[in-house]
Every structure is written in structure tokens, then in C-alpha cells.
Amino acid sequence: MIFVFIALVWLTGFSIARFLFPAPAGWSLHSVFLFSLGTGLGIGIASCLYFLSLVLFGPSPLILAGFGAVVAAIAILRGMSAKSRGIALEWAAGPAAPGYLTVLLLLAVVFAVTMFVVHSLENPHGEWDAWSIWNLKARFLFRGGERWKNVLSTQIPNSHPDYPLLLPSAVAMCWTLARGESIGAPIAVAFLFTLGACGLLISSVGILRGKTQALVAGIVLLATSSFIQLGALQYADVPMSFYILATLALLCLQDRFPGDLRFSIAAGLTAGFAPWTKNEGWLFLAAVLLARLIAILRFDRRVVLATQFLRFAAAALPSVALTAFFKLHFAPPNDLFGQKASDLAAHAAVFGRWVITLEGFVQMLFLMGGFLLPMVLILGLYWFLVRFHVEERERTSLATVLVALGLMLAGEFAIFVVFPPDIIAQLKLSLARVYMQLWPAALLAFFLAANPPQLLSTPAHAAAKTKTGAKSLKPKRRTAPAKPAHPSVRLN
């Protein structure tokens, strides 16, 4: 029964995504994009609905079921009846991807799913954060009945009562509707987010840069063992990474299709769920707004600023307002932010804390991901061979992603320096997870900028025009990059 409700949640999200971007019937890149986007939309909306229902009507399964049924029915009816209109999201023009890449992608999917299943069999309740925070909160919400507010009790050490409730609410909603607790709910939610992030990366890179780049990006993310492991162990960092990637990918698509402002609406929706997932979501929301502002002012027409921002803000508002309501009305102060200003100033004044944090950030670049060799070096080598090539129309997109990720990193760096009393323990505990939150979006930025490997001596537009000719192109040794026919920026 639990899985029926999980499927309904996903279907609701998919229908909302399909309502926004109606896809032609049948299997296509467009539908992969919607399947993946639907995961985060469905779970985010279900979670908000559950919390609202709990606050307004108490823990009543009947009211929740009625509330949920109305929203799901409207979404599914509107989504499924939406006629294909506007743009079709297809593979970007480029050289045909070698057949073996598709096979390797499927192999990476098999490895990732097996890894997820084995982790879930070994730790069905997840790891530390899952049973100390997220699933514990879900139990308080579900088992607590009228006393659900005990989830916010400051008497429970290590449960971080101020943490937002996207994951616990989504899980507790499935348990409430199914009238029983099953560990299948958090596992299924984690699975959807993990594979959803991979699907979203593949489809968005495919739409923006073509099939070859998309398949390589997908293989790298699926083979990032730490990412799959974090997902399977039910940490909130993977859902967070999903919302970061979704927002940035949708803003990139907005730049690719400037006439269609539904991308800004969808980006607002996903960005709005970030603060409801983790406290870092506030940092991301500020970072993405600032990054977008900088990117548009620097590279785009300023007239698009107001139209895009209005739609983004309107779509983000409901979930941001709900999170603010939770924070202001229910949540106790955050344990890190609750420290005295004089202590924080003293932390910031210690030069050693800056050095330790910097050292940690640099080391983690080489350690993250769980690869046999540091992936950052391999990506560096890949860049050396193919180089970056950013077309003019992609400058705003890439600037948005890079500035947002840069601001996130800078913000996290400042948090590490200023807040934790034991900085070394905090770095050990959470820096790898911070990197994993940003990893899918960083891969989006990398493959958005990188040249397709087969186009080392051929301008992209020429290869696009002669798709059949492109098939015969074999990877060549690096030669002098060809001059593009239209203005572009080289970042190397």
C-alpha cells in the first residue's frame, strides 16, 4: 500500500511537470526530463500538504486523504489532458553518440541501483542522520498523534528540532495514508530522489549540449559511489542536491528558450522546496537569486529580469512561506545560530580556523566521490583534452550556475569558519556531504562548458548541420580549436 501512495505522489509531480511542459506521447528525452523533475515536485508538494493539513486539521487520515485526493486529481487531470504545445525538449544537435556509451550508461545504472539496494538491505533504516533526525521526526509526526509537536522538542538531543520537514513529512504522509509504518517509504523516497537527480542531469545536459555529453555526465554521476551511498542511507543531502540541480538546470533551459517563461516558474517551484529540505536551502535561495541577477545584468537583456524574477518568486513563494511559518511559529532556534555573537566573532578572529577550513575544502576536492583516482584530476585532464567552449547564448546560463555554486561554497566556508565550536569534527562530519549537494550541479556546469569530445577540430554548428557526416567523425588528437562562426567565449 505504501508504494501505491509513493507512486501517486510521483504521478502528481509528473503531472504538474507535464502540465507545465506538455510532452508528446511516447518515450522521449522530454518525458525523461518530466519523470525526473516530477520526483522532486511531487514529494515537495506532498510534504507541504501534509504539514499544512497537520497544522490546520490535526493528524486526521481522512482529511489528509481528502486533501491529497483533490490535489492529486486536479494535477493528474490537468497534466494528463495537457496537449503538447510550445517547445519540445529534444537532444541538442551534435555528433551522434557512440552506441557503446548508451551501453555503459545502462551498466552504470545497474551498478548504482545494485549499490542502492545492497545499502538498503544492510541499513533499511538508513544511517546516523536518518535515524537520529529524518526518520525519527517522521516517527514523531506519525506516532505522536495529537502530540506531533513533540517533534520540535528541544529535550531530544541531536535531533535538531529546527530542521525543516520535507523528508519527514513526506514519509509520515505515506504512513498516515497507509495506516501503518513501513521502512519502504523512506527507502522509496530516497530512491526517487537519487535516480531523479541522475535523470535530471542526463536530460538537462542532453537538451542543452547533446547526447554524448549527457551520457558521459550521467555515467559520472551514477558512478559517484558517495552520492548513491548518501541517497541509500537516507541523508537529506541528495534531495537537497536534486533541488539545487533542478533549479539551476531549469534556469539554463530558460536561457535556451527565452520566450517560454514556464521554466522560471518551474525553477521557482524547485528552489522553494530547498529551504523546506535543509537549512542550507536558505543559502541556496539567496545564492541563486543573486547569481541570476549578476548573470542577467552582465550577459543578458535587462528587460527579462523583471519577468523572470516575478514568475520565479511567485512559484517559490508558497513553499518558502510555509518554511518561514514553520521557522517562526514552531521551530526553536538553530543550535549553531543560537550561539552568542561574541563567541562567533571570536571564532572568526582565529586565523587557524580559516586555514583548517581552507585545507579541508581543498583536500575534499581530491577525496570526494569515492573514485579510485581523484575525479577532479580526471575532469582536469578531460578539460585539457577537449577544452571549454561557451557559446554566447549559454553565457548567462553558465554564469548563473557557476556564480550560484561559488556563492554556496563561499557561504558554506563562512559557516564552517564562524559557527561550529569544534571545527575539525564538523568538517569531518559534513564537508563531504556539502560537496555532494553541489556535485550534480557542478557536473551540469562542467558539461555545459566542455566541448563534445568528437568536435575537437570541427565547430559545433557545422557538425550539427551534418549529422550523418558527424557520425563518421572519429575522436582525434587535440588540434588547434577551430574558430566558431559566431561570437563565443573561451574560458580556458
> How many residues of this chain interact with another protein, rule: CB under 8 A?
54
- List the one residue from 55, 96, 104, 462 that touches another protein (CB under 8 A): 104
| Residue 142 beta carbon to another protein: minimum distance, rounded to whole angstroms | 8
| CA atoms of 33 and 90, how far apart (whole Å) | 10
Q: Give the contact letters, 4-33, x = binds to another protein (CB under 8 A), - = no.
A: ------------------------------
Binding piece for another protein, criterion CB under 8 A, among 13-21, 155-163, 348-356, 408-416: 155-163
- Asked whether the beta carbons of 7 and 236 are under 8 A apart, the reply is no
Q: Is 482 in the site for another protein (CB under 8 A)?
A: no
φ, ψ dihedrals at 450, nearest 5°: -70, 145
Asked if 372 interacts with another protein (CB under 8 A), we say yes
Distance of CA 418 to the CA centre of its chain: 26
Q: In this complex, which beta carbon is closest to another protein, that of residue 44 or of residue 186?
A: 186
Which positions from 313 to 352 touch another protein by CB under 8 A, shown as an x/- string? ----------------------------------------
143 lies in the binding site for another protein (CB under 8 A): yes
Q: Is 240 in the site for another protein (CB under 8 A)?
A: no
The three cell numbers locating residue 369: 566521490
β-bridge partners, 488: 391
Given 225, 334, 426, 488, the residue binding another protein (CB under 8 A): 225
Q: How many CB atoms lie within 10 A of CB 28?
A: 16
Determine the Cα–Cα distance for residues 185 and 170; give it in Å rounded to an integer.
9
In this complex, which beta carbon is closest to another protein, that of residue 155 or of residue 468? 155
Give CA torsion, residues 26, 29, 30, 35, to 10 deg.
90
Burial of 308 (0-12, 13-18, 19+ CB in 10 A): buried
- Smallest separation (angstroms) from another protein to the CB of 368: 12
State the residue for C-alpha cell 557520425.
471
Say how many Å lie between the first and final Cα of the chain, rounded: 54
54 Cβ neighbours under 8 A, 6+ residues apart: 64, 141, 148, 169
Residue 433 CA to residue 471 CA, distance in Å, equals 40
Among 83, 85, 155, 468, binds another protein (CB under 8 A): 155
Closest by CA position to 336, among listed 165, 160, 167, 168: 160
Minimum Å distance from CB 379 to another protein?
A: 7
Give strand pairing partners of 390.
489
Task: Please tell me whether residue 112 binds another protein under the rule CB under 8 A.
Answer: yes
Give the binding range for another protein (CB under 8 A) out of 303-311, 328-336, 340-348, 371-379.
371-379
What CA–CA distance (Å, rounded) separates 221 from 201? 8
C-alpha cell at 234: 537516507
Site residues (CB under 8 A) for another protein, limited to 173-212: 212
**Shortest Å, Cβ 362 to another protein:** 21
Instruction: Kindly state whether residue 150 participates in binding another protein, applying the rule CB under 8 A.
Output: yes
CA nearest neighbour of 224 among 367, 357, 320, 343: 367
Question: In sequence order, what are the residues at sequence separation of 6 or more whose Cβ sits closer than 8 angstroms to the Cβ of residue 135?
Answer: 125, 126, 168, 171, 186, 234
Nearer to another protein, 53 or 224 (CB): 224
| Cβ(254)–Cβ(308) below 8 Å | yes
Hey, how many other C-beta atoms are within 10 angstroms of the C-beta on 135?
Answer: 22
Examine residue 140 and tell whether it contacts another protein (CB under 8 A). yes
Per CB under 8 A, the list member of 15, 31, 224, 277 interacting with another protein is 224
Minimal distance in Å, beta carbon 24 to another protein?
A: 31
- Please give the single-letter amino acid code of residue 72: A
Q: How far is the CB of 223 from another protein (least distance, A)?
A: 4
Residue 121 interacts with another protein (CB under 8 A)?
yes
Q: Select from 104-112, 278-286, 334-342, 389-397 the region that touches another protein (CB under 8 A).
A: 104-112
**Which residue of 122, 343, 359, 392 would you call a contact of another protein, by CB under 8 A?**
122
Interacting residues with another protein (CB under 8 A): 101, 104, 107-108, 111-112, 114-115, 118-119, 121-125, 128, 131-132, 135-136, 139-140, 143-145, 147, 150, 153, 155-159, 212, 216, 219-220, 222-225, 369-373, 375, 378-379, 381-382, 386, 453, 475
